[in-house]
Copies of this chain bind each other. A is one copy, B any other.
């Protein structure tokens, strides 16, 4: 006995693969799409097909864009000699929302992880080393997540770049803007205290 036409079941199965949606909420989402076939479903399918077709990984930094070289890498004003090393495209978007960094990026595509058997060659670390040499980069800013894997990766990169003469920095650790001490973990308070500054 068919619960829903085969193609709709297939759509539900695919939607259920999205993070944040399970089988039940995927069903609910598809029902909503079926009710708004013209207003939402058709445009969504169109834009999704277009992105799936046109999106490319930037050859230089690994950012996702519509061309072989992304808008940031092809913008001469951003050739500041600074490269910000990040894990993921999401981190690039987060940095850009901050509107402070004016240089270029290098997306690793993950972090080193012994557990998941991810080594330096699975990430874009060799490309980073080559890039630093070729572009005569002045400063590499390690903006990796403050997790064990993130910090392991940062140390590995710092070693790999040793002797290239580039200055290697990392994001400051401390109390987040608007943060209340009472809600902060001990590690953050400790880091903020150790890195205290003249007021």
Chain A residues in the interface with B (C-beta under 8 A): 1-5, 7-8, 10-11, 14-15, 17-21, 25, 27-29, 31-34, 37-38, 40-55, 64-66, 71, 88-90, 93, 96-97, 99
Contacts and interface: CB of A to CB of B under 8 A. Distances in A.
Given A7-B47, A14-B43, A41-B52, A20 B19 contact: no
Contacts of A97: 3
B8 A51 contact: yes
Contacts of A54: 7
A37 B64 CA distance: 11
Contacts of A37: 52, 55
A65 B20 CA distance: 27
A27 B96 CA distance: 15
Given A5-B66, A7-B66, 11 more contacts: A4-B93, A5-B55, A7-B47, A7-B54, A11-B47, A14-B44, A31-B88, A34-B89, A42-B53, A44-B48, A48-B48
Contact of A29 (B1, B11, B18): B18
Given A10-B47, A48-B11, A48-B41, A96 B3 contact: yes
Contacts of A33: 18, 48, 51-52
Question: Which 8 residue pairs of A and B lie closest in terms of their CB atoms, listed nearest first?
Answer: A45-B49, A45-B48, A20-B25, A41-B52, A18-B29, A42-B52, A14-B44, A3-B96
